[in-house]
Amino acid sequence: MRVRVFALLSVLASLGLPGFAETVLEGRFGLGDARAYSGHHFEIKGHQIRLDGVRCPDVDTVAGRDAKALMNQFLRTNIKCRVLPAEGGWRGSCTANGQDVAEALLSTGLCRVHGDGPSLEAVLRPGDF
């Protein structure tokens, strides 16, 4: 039941209905303001956020630790996240210095597309195929 309620809230938010607006978190955050839990799960000023469209390995693996370190680097730059309410916090997309964070994580090969993630064409560079 909880999942359905959050799914409904996310749909209403995506429609731009009053009270369900997208939230924008923007800035350069220090160690006390933001931290990564994994490559795709992080916190900014108390907001738990999961990146849409990408999943990274568990932090118990080398690839997972590398993805988490990369996310921490993104959090220390000029990052802008557009998020909507979701179960357990927020979900959305982010850019860091104008670069899509999900696409950057995918391009490293550390993480994989999940759900409605960026298309492979957006991630692959000419010559990759």
Establish if 15 belongs to a structural domain. no
Q: How far is the C-alpha of 45 from the C-alpha of 60, rounded, in Å?
A: 25
Q: Which residue's entry shows tokens 């210095």? A: 97
Q: For 5-29, what is each residue's pLDDT tens digit?
A: 334 444 444 444 445 578 888 888 8
Q: Give the domain extent around 41.
A: 23-122
Residue type, 54: V
Q: Are strands 47-51 and 89-96 parallel, antiparallel or unpaired?
A: parallel
Establish if 7 belongs to a structural domain. no
Q: How far is the C-alpha of 106 from the C-alpha of 56, rounded, in Å?
A: 9
**Domain at 106, CATH number:** 2.40.50.90
Q: What is the CA radius of gyration of the chain?
A: 15
Q: For 36-91, what is each residue's pLDDT tens digit?
A: 999 999 999 888 999 999 999 999 999 999 999 999 999 999 899 999 988 888 99
Establish if 11 belongs to a structural domain. no
Total tally of structural domains belonging to the chain = 1
DSSP state of 25: E
Does an H or E element contain 102, and which?
A: helix 101-107
Residue type, 100: D
